[in-house]
Amino acid sequence: MTSDTIKQVHAREVLDSRGHPTVEVEVYCQGGAAGRAIVPSGASTGFHEACELRDGNPGRYAGKGVRTAVHHVLTVLGPAVAGMAASAQREIDRTLCDLDGFANKSRLGANAILGVSLACAHAAAAARNQPLWQYLAELTLLSPLGRGAGGEGAAPSHAAPRRQPTLPLPMVNLISGGKHAGQNLQFQDFLLLPIAARSFSEALHTAVHVYRALGAVLGEHGFEGVLVGDEGGFVPRLESNEQAIDMILKAFARAGLAPGRDAAIALDVASTHFYRQGRYEIHRAFSADDFAVLLESWTTRYPIQSIEDGMAEDDWAGWKKLTHKLGKRIQLIGDDLFVTNPERLKRGIAEGVANSILIKPNQIGTLTETLDVLALARAAGYRPIISARSGETEDATIADLAVATAAGQIKIGSVARSERLAKYNQLLRIEEQMGANSPFAQWQPVQ
């Protein structure tokens, strides 16, 4: 028995940033160390994501309670990992998955499983008196990234080279639409890429500067420049998706930034949500070919460097068309397409679809599975972007994860709402811990 041997696992129901219940897990070790993790929740969820277990009782939190998931932690998952070393992350995660027995974790719930998985990592870091990012960086070396389901004894088929922990470039929400903002626009997010930044703190300052400039620009044009959506982006009642881009370009000018040189735009199209019977329905119905042409034309007219979910989650043919047009020019991110799932990603790699992947731990359900998908992506030349969810909490694990894995980019939300700032502030702390000349992932154009 060692100081990081798990003594007890506790769980409770808490609330996320939308006021919906979610799972919080605490892990206590024999030596006195403890770790806590809170599981986020998405609104714009992909069909192929791991199962988020809800109680379904309409008389309590409109059916969104998670007492069943909490019960599973207390009676099944917690007792199973008690006595294990909190640092035995891969063994713990394999145990959790085996207890569920389903690939999508539908029996015990991915929210229950992920809570235990992440809390164990926090406890292990505390037992070693290390910041979480340092512990996770070591964990990725002790348990090589990219190993398959065979576990520690399996040959690493796509092990990633060692990378120095690095602060990520933030992708910052400016204007929200879709399911994050009452469908006021079809596209879900219009975001800033501070591509000229040479440090994380500089990138964050640029984001705040642009955000405030955008609020003023919206007000001057008669739009709401104060109210925000689930992820902190403004939610003005604009007439079109293109008008959102126009407002952002005006904000760039007000902030004294040159479009394409100092700042660029990223789009989260979330096209699955307006895909109907093979057509993309925005101001008119587009075929996949026509929609790809539309997006291509926008990248010519505007300083767009990244497009997420430009085609629907199961429109593989459409994704091939879009990748053929833009895959060598800009970042094409699969979120609903890949859902941090190795099998979905392997198909994308084989078919030459997209060139980047959003990494969301709650889409797959454990820390090691998340790390393995990230490594698989990196080995295939796909860019990983660590991402928050629209239903977030004060838990800042993804900030440490982005640094530890040197993912290069992070998508947290806007520079408003404390569940977003918790992650940005954690990255500022890590930047300070790293000291002068802390490694920072400067923007690299797609080639």
Tell me which residues are annotated as active site: 231, 360
3-class secondary structure, 59: coil
Give buried/exposed letters for 126-165 (b at 16+ CB in 10 A, else e): bbbeebbbbbbbbbbeebbbbbeeeeeeeebebebeebeb
Q: What's the chain's length in residues?
A: 447
**Rounded to whole angstroms, how far apart are CA atoms 94 and 80?**
11
Residue that has been written with the tokens 């694990």 in this structure: 397
Residue type (1 letter), 433: Q
Q: Collapse the DSSP code of 217 into the 3-class scheme (helix H, G, I; strand E, B; otherwise coil) and give the result.
A: helix
| Long-range contacts from 223-228, C-beta under 8 angstroms, 24+ separation | 223/247, 228/176, 228/414, 228/416, 228/417
In three-state secondary structure terms, 186 is coil
How is residue 119 written in tokens? Answer: 């809390």
CB 117 within 8 A of CB 367: yes
Alpha carbon of residue 433 to chain centroid:
23
